[in-house]
Each structure stands twice: as structure tokens, then as C-alpha cells.
Amino acid sequence: MADELFYADLHLPSQPNSERQLHSADHFNAFEGSCRHKAALWIGWAGNIILLVTVIVLGSTKCKLCPMGWVPQRGKCYWFSKEKNKWTVARDHCSSKEAQMLMIQDLEEKEVTRTIIQGTSRFWTGLHFSASRKQWIWVDDSLFDQTLFSLPLRADGTQCGAFKDDQIRLELCSDEFKWICEKEAVLI
């Protein structure tokens, strides 16, 4: 039994007809796949173009950020102290924050500062009288613009400027007030 052979008659369709059916089905599937492939390519290219436009638009938009606890205004960041201290301590504190004391350089900044502090109390600014130069200067050594505020042309080296109610008030640098630090916002 182990060495017995079995034979069977198989009736297969003729070769030319089955090949024709197979090729036409492949041709139909290949055509359908080709259309799907083209549609997928077009959708992919459209997505890439949309993505490119989005990157260009977002790349041209500039965001300016301030550190936590700082107030953003006009591309600058402002920090307001809660405690009071002498002008020199305030200057050094701003410097430790990689900033400088408030320097009111134009009418718009004057208005922004007035709006933010709204007459609460006096705040030290970066303005002081340089006895050696005999003029009012800011902490960055730039000259004070007399058209923004009216101050006496002469003073002594112990006077510094505090801001309140839309004015710079002359105070002894040894007096204690709150202060404002400012620095440029970080561009991203």
C-alpha cells in the first residue's frame, strides 16, 4: 500500500483563455491603482504646499516674549519692584536681572509708564544728575531729553529721578522708593 500510485484526471481551462482573464483583471486593477496613486500624490503635494506656506507665514511673524512676571509693552519688558530701596540698590538689582532702570525716551513710553503705574507711588527711574558732566543722564549714559520733562538744568550729584503722575520728581538718591527695570523683549 505504501508503494501504490494514484492518478487523477484534472480538467483545467485552456491556457489562452485563463491568461486573457488574468491579464485583463490585472490591467483593470493596475489602472485603478494608478488613479489612486496619482490622487495620493496630488494630495501629498497639496499638503506639502500648504505646509510650506504655513512655515513661511509663521517664519515672517515675529513674536516677542518677556520673562515670567514682567509686563510686555511696545517690544520691551517691564518689571516692577514691590519693595523700596535706594537708587543705587535699585540700579544694581536691575543690572542683576540683565536689565536697566526705566529710561523714558519718548512721549509714547512716558504714556505707557503712566498708564501702567497709574499714580500709585513714586518709582525710581534710571535718571540721575552727573556732577562730573554737570547734566542729567540716564543709566546708559545717554542724555536726558528736556522736552519730555522739565527739570532744573543744574542740580547736585545726590539727586535722582523718580516718576509719578506723569512727571519726573527730583529726590535724594538715598531716599527709598520702588523701582522699574526694563529690557528688550526676546525675539523668537
Q: What is the mean pLDDT of residues 29-39?
A: 67
**In this model, does residue 49 exceed pLDDT 60?**
yes
Q: What's the pLDDT at 38?
A: 78
Q: How far is CA 117 from the centre of its chain?
A: 24
Task: Say how far apart CA 44 and CA 147 lie, in whole Å.
Answer: 61
Sorting pLDDT into bands at 50, 70 and 90, what band is 46? confident
pTM (predicted TM-score): 0.64
Choice between 1 and 178, residue whose per-residue pLDDT is larger: 178
Q: What's the pLDDT at 68?
A: 93
Task: Say how far apart CA 139 and CA 103 lie, in whole Å.
Answer: 8
Domain map of the chain by residue range?
Answer: 1-61, 64-187
Q: What is the mean pLDDT of residues 173-184?
A: 95
Percentage, residues of the chain above pLDDT 90:
34
Residue 86, amino acid: K
Long-range contact list for 37-46, CB < 8 A, 24+ apart?
none
Sorting pLDDT into bands at 50, 70 and 90, what band is 41? confident
Task: Say how far apart CA 96 and CA 155 lie, in whole Å.
Answer: 28
Q: What's the pLDDT at 139?
A: 95
Instruction: Look up the CATH architecture of domain 64-187.
Output: Roll (3.10)
Which ranges in 61-167 belong to alpha helices (H)?
87-96, 107-117
Distance in Å from the first CA to the final CA of the chain: 87
Q: How many CA atoms lie within 13 A of 11 on its CB side?
A: 0
Sorting pLDDT into bands at 50, 70 and 90, what band is 54? low
pLDDT digits (tens, 9 = 90+) for 99-151: 999 998 888 888 877 877 776 688 999 999 888 888 889 999 998 888 888 77
